[in-house]
């Protein structure tokens, strides 16, 4: 994660706590999860199961599946989900990395 995110946010919205890979973050309630993570400075959402290459959101419209994260044990598209309080978010398929 970078100290300054490559993205900035125009709106001010009430924030709620979530965790990303165990690190606590405060994200805007009801915001698009992928957008909120990018603004929070998360630049790698997952590593590919094929080569372990880092990936992050690409299309923001639910078509590319690059923004996959794991929430409550289910792998989902971050760009298709709204932020809610207490989300436990993890990089998708990360337990693969040892295996590759």
Partner 1 sequence: METDYAIIGGGVVGLSVAWGLLRRGRRVTVLDGDDGSFRASRGNFGLVWVQSKGMTQPRYAKWSQHSASIWADFARELADTTGETVPLEQKGGYDLHFSEETLQDTVEKYEGLKAKLDGDYPFEVLGHNALRKEEPHIGPKVVGAILHHQDGHANPLKLLQALAADVRRMGGHLLTGKTVTDVSKPDGFVLTCADGTRVDAAKVILSAGLGAAQLGPKMGFKAPIRPQRGQVLITEKLPKLINRPSLIARQVDEGGIQIGATNEEVGTDDRVTRSGVSGLAADAIAAYPALARAQLVRSWGALRVLSPDGLPIYQQSADMPGAYLVTCHSGITLAAVHARVLPDWLEGTEAAPDLEVFSEARFAVS
Partner 2 sequence: MERFDLAIIGAGPAGMAAAREAADLGLAVVLLDEQARPGGQIYRDVERAGPVRGDILGEDYTAGTRLTQALLHDRIRHIAGAVLWAIEDGFCLSYTQDGRAAQVSADRVLIATGALERPMPLPGWTLPGVMTAGAGQILLKQSGVLARRAVLVGSGPLLYLIAAQMVRAGTPPLALVETQTVADRTRALHHISGALRGWRYLVKGLKLLAQITRARVPRHTGATGIAIEGSDRAEAVTFTSHGRAHRIDCDTVFLHHGVVPNTQAARSLGVMHRWRRDQACFSPVLDPWGETDVPGIYVAGDGAGIVGAKAAEHAGRLAALAVATSAGHLGQGERDRRAKRLRLALDRERAVRPFLDAAYPPCVEALAPADGTIICRCEEVTAGTIRSHAKLGCLGPNQSKAFGRAGMGPCQGRYCGLTVTALLAAANGRTEDDTGYYRIRPPLKPVTLGELAAMDDTSDGA
Q: Give me the residues that bind partner 2 (CB under 8 A), please.
A: 6-11, 31-32, 35-36, 38-39, 43-45, 48, 50-51, 53-66, 68, 74, 80, 82
**58/25 Cα distance (integer angstroms):** 22
Q: Is 75 in the site for partner 1 (CB under 8 A)?
A: yes
**Tokens coding 8:** 């900035």
- The reply on whether position 96 binds partner 1 by CB under 8 A is yes
Are the CB atoms for 36 and 5 separated by under 8 Å? no
The DSSP code for 82 is B
Q: Quick one: what does residue 15 bind among ligand FES, partner 1, partner 2, none, with the CB cut-off 5 to 8 Å set by partner type?
A: none
Partnered with residue 54 across adjacent β-strands are 47
Within 26-65, the residues that bind ligand FES by CB under 6 A are 34, 57-60, 62-65
- Comparing CA positions, the residue from 96, 88, 85 lying closest to residue 31 is 85
> In this complex, which beta carbon is closest to ligand FES, that of residue 28 or of residue 77?
77
Instruction: By CB under 6 A, name the binding residues for ligand FES.
Output: 34, 57-60, 62-67, 77, 79
């Amino acid at each position: 994660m970078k100290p300054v995110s490559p993205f900035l946010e125009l709106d001010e919205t009430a924030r709620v706590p979530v965790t990303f890979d165990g690190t606590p973050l405060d994200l805007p309630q009801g915001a698009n999860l992928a957008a909120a993570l990018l603004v929070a400075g998360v630049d790698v959402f997952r590593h590919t199961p094929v080569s372990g290459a880092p990936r992050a959101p690409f299309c923001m419209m639910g078509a590319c599946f690059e923004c996959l994260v794991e929430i409550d044990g289910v792998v989902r598209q971050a760009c298709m989900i709204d932020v809610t309080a207490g989300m436990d978010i993890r990089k998708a398929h990360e337990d693969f990395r040892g295996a590759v």
